[in-house]
């Protein structure tokens, strides 16, 4: 009986290893391209978060303005002299005996 024949272990599965490397590299390239893409990448995601924050701040400002206007409307409905006072202030009119104080203009 002769000695058993040894097979070369380096040649076994080399094609499969190359396939995995190529597929893995392709997946990494595809992932990188998706992250850097202009439509599905990180840029639009960050832009979305900034727009969301700006919209929330605008909503807070608008709600504050609505509250101010609602309080003015309530005072106009309940106070009989509020409408007169507002009209006089808007048109810079005075009652007899009142003094009008205007803000100082810019000095030259």
- Tens-digit pLDDT profile for residues 30-60: 988 888 887 878 888 888 999 999 999 999 9
Q: What pLDDT band is residue 7 in, cutting at 50, 70 and 90?
A: low
Q: Please tell me the predicted confidence (pLDDT) of residue 68.
A: 94
pLDDT at 4 over 70: no
Domain range list for the chain = 54-94
Selected residue with higher pLDDT from 94 and 48: 48
- CA atoms 12, 16, 19, 25: torsion sign: negative
| Model confidence band, residue 80 (pLDDT cutoffs 50, 70, 90) | confident
Q: Which residues contact 41 (CB under 8 A, 6 or more apart)?
A: 34, 35
Note the pTM of the prediction, 2 decimals. 0.49
Contact (Cβ atoms closer than 8 angstroms) between residue 88 and residue 94: yes
Q: What is residue 1's predicted lDDT score, i.e. its pLDDT?
A: 54
């Amino acid at each position: 009986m002769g000695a058993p024949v040894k097979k070369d272990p380096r040649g076994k599965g080399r094609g499969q290893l190359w396939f995995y490397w190529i597929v893995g590299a392709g997946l990494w390239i595809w992932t990188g391209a998706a992250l850097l893409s202009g439509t599905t990448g990180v840029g639009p995601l960050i832009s979305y978060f900034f727009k969301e924050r700006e919209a929330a701040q605008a909503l807070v400002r608008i709600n504050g303005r609505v509250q101010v206007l609602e309080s003015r409307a309530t005072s106009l409905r309940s106070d009989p002299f509020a409408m007169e006072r507002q009209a006089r202030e808007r048109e810079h009119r005075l009652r007899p005996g009142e003094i009008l104080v205007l803000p100082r203009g810019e000095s030259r």
